[in-house]
Amino acid sequence: MWSKSQLIFFIIILYNILFINGNLIDTDYSKTFKPFLETKNKIGNVIKDPKTEQIYVIGEYQTQPEQADKTFSGNNFYTLAPKIPIPNFVFENSTSKTPKPTPTPSIKTKSKTPKPIESSSSSSSETDELITGLKKNYFKVIKASIYDGCVAYLGKGLQDGNTFIAMYNLNNVPDFYQVDSSHNYLSLSIDDTFIWATYKEANQVYLKPIIHDGCKKIIHKNDPYVPMPVNITNPEDVISQPITSSSRYIYIYDSAAHVLVKFTHSSSLQKFEETEGGRLNVLDACSVRLYRYDQEKRNTYWMVSKKDGFTLYNERSEKSISLTKDGDTTDYCAPFATKGLDTFYALPGSDELSRSIPGVSFEVTHPCYGDKGTGEIKILAPPGVFQIKWEDQLTATKSLIRKNLKDGDYILQYWLSGIDDSTDMVRKNISIITPENPMFINVTHACLNAAQGVFNFTNLKHPDFSYEYILYSEDGKKPVILKDGSVFPGLYGDKNYTVNITTTSKDVFKHQCTYSVKEFLPNDKVEKPIIEYTNLTCADSKDARIKIVNFKPEKYNYIVTPTKYNITSEGTIENISDLNIVIKAEIKGGVCSQIVSVDIYSPPSAKVVKEKLKPKVIKSLCFGSKGSIKVASMDGIDFELTDSKGKVHQPFINKIKTLEFNGLIADKYILEAKIKSTRGESLYCGSVSNNLTLAQPKRIQITDTLIESIDCTRANLANMTITATGGTQYNGSYYDFTISSGAISHGHYLNVSYWVDGIYSLNISDSKGCVAVYNNITIKRPNKCQVHNINGIHPQFGPNSIQNGGNGNGNPKKDDKNKLGLILGLCLGIGIPFIILATVLTVVLVKKFGHRFSRTPTMRNQPRPNTVPVFMGGKIHNIDNF
């Protein structure tokens, strides 16, 4: 015997169906339901609990764990504890013996299917394909039976072919019983004491009673009951009928002989025999189910399924009532169970459960719109089989049709003829409904050049009808079909449209009506709001006001953004503090609109003006010249510039919207930005001031105009320089020095140590073009070492004097009589007496006779332009650009 850890699992997917209490069955017959079955499974058994009157559905294929492929001895049994939920209960774990009951779902309840243990099958739901893909631990449920919540299964392994019987207690831990695999078990039934199982051995059919202890466990030790041979060829169904009396009955349907055989037995099974005359011929029956036992008359009725329908048999009279319908081609040779006439069945190979009253169906004609009072109900049933009575009529009727019915509920009572027991009566509620006008359409006009038109059929849709709409447009575009919706959006205007409508009742009768509606879809035209407004006075005010000149509230809805503003009945919006608002005029009952964005002008705040006020000061280039101040213009701002003396300067606007204050001398200024009010030219909201300084460079000047040597020493004679300051130096380090002859020197100072004595005219210019003019630069040495021009010409060159604009210490005199002469340079390298003596003699001669020479030098003595005469090496040289 195996240990508890070696439990065998099998999954039984069970679907418990509840019914409405009482005998009013108001379900749509022939409707199908999906039970809780594993994927690609199908319904193998539909059974009814004779004690509780509940219906159960069992899948054909089930599974158990890997241990199930082992060989079992005939005396072993195992307690099962499934790990997956079953609709009626859930086990917390594999060792739990106390199940957690859960609500049993109604047939109308949509519940989630428990997740199945996956198989390797990926084929279709056909039986052979399913079996091919199943794991070896799968088995097939051949037969199933239930009594008072105790379920018995006859299973057969798909791989080894072994059969077993499982007992499953819905209120307890299930039990497992493995029978001798040498027997070919065919069918079973369970009651309050026994599991009745049939098998065939050597062409003999046996009925074996297996006792159980109130569905707690199967008692197989010291089993006193032996299999009993029965005169049956093919035991298709076994039906146990537990009756509280000394005798009980067992019925076995022999599908080979098409007979239902009745056996009588005592509770101790000491007596077991076929009842005399207990064979009921059921003809080509597929399955036999107990329909009802009449305790008072001690008569039993049987419901039999056949390929063409169902037949009800009276056991005592052996009479039958065929419950088939003309023209019905459905194959009913499949598992089924009944609760009175209410029959639940699964079509062969199907995983759907169907429900109907055998032999009865209805055809209901609902009136179409405009035809109220023309409803019709037809009862489709075999003639003479049912008795019929309408509850709104006093007496029963034989007529199977009612015409000219108004809207309302009609309740039908019908029962089988010859069976007057009220429990067999069926009450059916049939409603006659006339839909409201399905052609009523809510039209939303389109907008010009925009597909915004809408046809809406939603408002009067009746919940008991489904609607199909097909939209056709005049331009011949592909029709638009709506089956789930009823709104056609995105339509262009100025077009004709046609909509065909089909209504279908949602009941099983599916009655249809068709309609057609034509509609012209116009375009809506919306006037754009014309705005008249007054701006804000100042930045911190809230006094702006808007007026919609063409305000038409009877035609348009006006929406203002921000939404904090309201429109008065006159179309005004007051106390606006925002700088922009948006007004949307939307046509009433439509989607077309016009939007206008309104900018509210506000003078800027002082803070904003201060942030934007960035004046540019352009200083004077030269000492004494004029500078300027530039500032970017701003809307609503007046600028004033005041100098240190209180004078107000006026600007002008250049091409790039810049204000320029020109012709300004170096001074301190105040630039004031005055914020104008929107209520008047002379009103201001405030102002922002900026203190500015317009600077100028220093005057270009030299330290002294007299450059002299205090003695004739070599050191002093070689250190005669002119030093300039002020202005704006080139690269911050030098000036241009220019004499009247055009000779130029560059530097921070000018070395004149080798110039001959005399008076010179000198211009000093800086990098900005500023020029200082000096006409009295005097070069002077002591008398004993003076050097003069050999032509006796004064160094002040009248004709070539430079008089460019600029600042100087005087103006040169124009002397047309002065002529250019050569300037004798100082002697370089004075050191030997001979040279000194020669120089002295030369100076004496020049002083004594120089004035006698002509003022106009000869061609050979005329210096070249742009040169300076210097004395070097004992000779006079003309040096270019010194």
pLDDT of residue 879: 54
Residues of the chain with pLDDT under 70: 1-40, 63-137, 172-182, 220-222, 242-247, 418-423, 459, 655, 681, 789-882
Q: What is the DSSP letter of 851?
A: G
β-pair partners for 616: 630
Contact 871, 754 (CB under 8 A): yes
Counting other chains too, the contacts that 675-679 makes at CB distance below 8 Å and 24 or more residues apart are 675/538, 675/539, 675/603, 675/604, 675/606, 675/609, 675/636, 675/637, 676/603, 676/636, 676/637, 676/638, 677/537, 677/538, 677/603, 678/534, 678/535, 678/536, 678/537, 678/538, 678/601, 678/603, 678/636, 679/537
Supply the mean pLDDT for the chain.
76
202: its two tokens = 């050597």
The owner of tokens 């052996």 is 318
403: its two tokens = 């015409």
β-pair partners for 409: 431
pLDDT of residue 485: 85
State how far the Cα of 881 lies from the Cα of 877, in Å rounded to an integer. 12
pTM, rounded to two decimals: 0.52
State how far the Cα of 602 lies from the Cα of 541, in Å rounded to an integer. 9
Q: What is the DSSP letter of 812?
A: P
Contact 92, 166 (CB under 8 A): no
Which of 373, 366, 356, 256 is closest to 310 using CA atoms?
356
Cβ density class 55-86: b for 16+ within 10 Å, e for less: bbbbbbbbbbeeebeeebeeeebbebbbeeeb
DSSP letters of 72-118?
--TT-EEE---SS-BTTEE-SSTT--S-EE-PPPPTT---PPPPPPP
pLDDT of residue 868: 55
194: its two tokens = 């026994």
Rg of the chain taking only CA atoms, in angstroms: 62
Residue 666 amino acid letter:
A
Contact 140, 10 (CB under 8 A): no
Each residue's pLDDT tens digit, 753-770: 888 898 999 999 999 999
Which of 704, 714, 800, 725 is closest to 753 using CA atoms?
714
State how far the Cα of 148 lies from the Cα of 32, in Å rounded to an integer. 26
Domains of the chain: 1-181 (no CATH), 288-358 (no CATH), 360-432 (2.60.40), 442-524 (2.60.40.10), 531-599 (no CATH), 616-694 (2.60.40), 701-880 (no CATH)
State how far the Cα of 115 lies from the Cα of 150, in Å rounded to an integer. 24
Quote helix, strand, coil % in the chain, to nearest 5: 5, 45, 50
State how far the Cα of 876 lies from the Cα of 105, in Å rounded to an integer. 135
pLDDT of residue 661: 94
Instruction: Give the count of alpha carbons within 13 A of 496, CB side only.
Output: 4
DSSP letters of 570-611?
TSEEEEE-SSEEEEEEEETTS--EEEEEEEPP-PPPHHHHHH
